[in-house]
Chains A and B, each alone.
Chain A
Amino acid sequence: MKRVEAIFPLPYFEIDAAWNIVAYSQEAEELFGLPDNLTKIVDEGTYDKAREWVDFHHRKTVIEMNVIKENSDVILADVYITWTDEEKAELLLIPKDSQVDKVAASLKTLQSELLKTKTELIEEKERAEQVIEQNNKLSAPFISLNKETALVPLFGDVSYEKMMSVEQNLLSAVRESEADELLFDFTAVGDIEKEGFNYLASVIKALSHMGLDLFVIGLRPGHVPNIFKWSLPEDVRFMQSLEQVISNKRTRRDNERIRQKET
């Protein structure tokens, strides 16, 4: 193996049919060290391609190859191959423009920055989802007004997700309380979505099966068409406001007292 002066200031190799390196240029040594066989600098993914193309039956050809530098970095190069006879080939390697490498490197940096941002966004999204879930759970608090009556004011839009989050808390609060009258207050409800409403209707139905008297109060004109179109269980009664429910109760109680006095 000898060092030769190549015409061009580029990595250059002379090899035999078994790919043994017979001669090399100074530039080749600087880039690849002193490999004794071409196999040593051909990257694994390029090997089959090189086997096919660095062969006497392709007398004069140029191929792209991934080659391994002395420091183990893999670089892409155009390799010009000329076989002078069956036993000797000359290879001139032109590494792909370093400008391209620079662009590729900055693209990679951008890509990993984007990836980082994406991950952060996912984390933020998860946090926001937790907040929404928590918010949803708090959107239908169970408030005991007295021994037999409880109020459930609904807040915000009636959506499927919200009703799903609310259901568990509501059912267990009902189970634990002695209330036999439940007032669903729609005063602070925004939009009513169909899926959300259907879910709420199924919860109300379950409560009605548990033997509770159910009232819906505080409906706004905007709610009414949808509520009637999608319909709640039949035994649910509608009242205008909490005030009306309380005054009705008072009247009923007063009447009962009067009746008791009379008897």
Chain B
Amino acid sequence: MTGYLLEGEEQEALQLVQKWVGERSLLEVHEEIITPAMYHVGELWQTNRISVADEHLATATCDYIMTLISPRKGTSNGKKAIFFNVEEEEHHLGLKMAADIFREEGWESRFLGTGVPDDHVLQQIEKFCPDVICISAALSYRVPEMHNIIDVLKKRMPGSVILIGGRIVKNHGMNEWNEAHVHTMSSLTAVKEWLQNVKEGRRQ
């Protein structure tokens, strides 16, 4: 899988993934196949065997495949969630996976992706009126920006439910963020569990 991603051979990679999609749940495909493949790409850069350019090609290929396997049709539960990275954060694959996990559960997910300026994000949120706002960041120097956007959201949309994910949660622990209406998601499994709890009325 990593080989196909690094070579940009999207058709081969897609065939491989689609075989798994038929046999396993989306969560398993993401956590057991795509994520390890992309971690391996990261390791190859760490060990000086590939360049950043190779890494970007692998990311783009992976992104393309994820778009194609994204669950689009299903029964809607009438709930909406919006997903975006804090400003300038480029690591977006994990967030995209989370959006798909929401879709699989019948939510309408709107993925704003990376590089979207805060004012545009806020505009979108006000128009879309989501039930849940999901924010992701990887690098620790995004911590101030993450706090900033949470504060802005709390002021502009008091009472809205905010979920935080990405490596920032792993590196900074849960306590940095956990407060009323803000929940941290340490993995996709945690996202799935949270959604399950909402469905059964134990959350939100």
Task: Assess A115 versus B113: contact at CB under 8 Å? Given A64-B51, A64-B52, A123-B127.
Answer: yes
Task: Assess A52 versus B110: contact at CB under 8 Å? Given A108-B115, A119-B124, A123-B127.
Answer: no
Most buried by A among B46, B127, B140: B46
* Interchain CB contact under 8 A, A122 and B46: no
Contact of B46 among A52, A61, A115, A116 (CB under 8 A): A52
Question: Which chain B residues lie closer than 8 Å to A248 at the CB level?
Answer: none
Question: Who on chain B is nearest to A68 by CB?
Answer: B141
B interface, CB within 8 angstroms of A: 45-48, 51-52, 110, 112-113, 115-116, 120, 124, 127, 138-141
The 5 A-B residue pairs with the shortest CB-CB distance in the complex, in nearest-first order: A49-B46, A63-B48, A112-B115, A44-B139, A76-B52
Contact of A111 among B48, B115, B140 (CB under 8 A): B115
Instruction: Report the separation of the CA atoms of residues A123 and B113 in the bound assembly, to the nearest whole angstrom.
Output: 17
Answer yes or no: A53 CB below 8 A from chain B CBs.
yes
* Interchain CB contact under 8 A, B139 and A115: no
User: Distance (Å) between the CB of B181 and the closest chain A CB?
Assistant: 25
Consensus secondary structure, chain A interface: helix
* Interchain CB contact under 8 A, B141 and A44: yes
| A interface bracket (residues with beta carbon within 8 Å of B) | 10 to 19
* Interchain CB contact under 8 A, B127 and A45: no
Answer yes or no: A262 CB below 8 A from chain B CBs.
no
20 interchain pairs (CB within 8 A)?
Answer: A44-B139, A44-B140, A45-B139, A48-B46, A49-B46, A49-B47, A49-B48, A53-B48, A61-B48, A64-B45, A64-B48, A64-B51, A64-B52, A76-B52, A96-B52, A112-B115, A115-B112, A115-B113, A116-B120, A119-B124
Instruction: Report the separation of the CA atoms of residues A53 and B46 in the bound assembly, to the nearest whole angstrom.
Output: 9
Instruction: Report the separation of the CA atoms of residues A152 and B48 in the bound assembly, to the nearest whole angstrom.
Output: 73
Question: Which chain B residues lie closer than 8 Å to A76 at the CB level?
Answer: 52
Extra contacts, 9 of them, besides A64-B52, A108-B115 (Cβ < 8 A), are: A44-B140, A48-B46, A49-B47, A49-B48, A52-B46, A64-B48, A115-B112, A115-B116, A123-B127
Question: Which chain B residues lie closer than 8 Å to A119 at the CB level?
Answer: 112, 124
Question: Who on chain A is nearest to B90 by CB?
Answer: A108
Instruction: Report the separation of the CA atoms of residues A232 and B112 in the bound assembly, to the nearest whole angstrom.
Output: 47
Question: Who on chain B is nearest to A78 by CB?
Answer: B51
Question: Which chain A residues lie closer than 8 Å to B140 at the CB level?
Answer: 44
Instruction: Report the separation of the CA atoms of residues A64 and B47 in the bound assembly, to the nearest whole angstrom.
Output: 10
* Interchain CB contact under 8 A, B45 and A49: yes
User: Distance (Å) between the CB of A77 and the closest chain B CB?
Assistant: 10
User: Distance (Å) between the CB of A130 and the closest chain B CB?
Assistant: 14
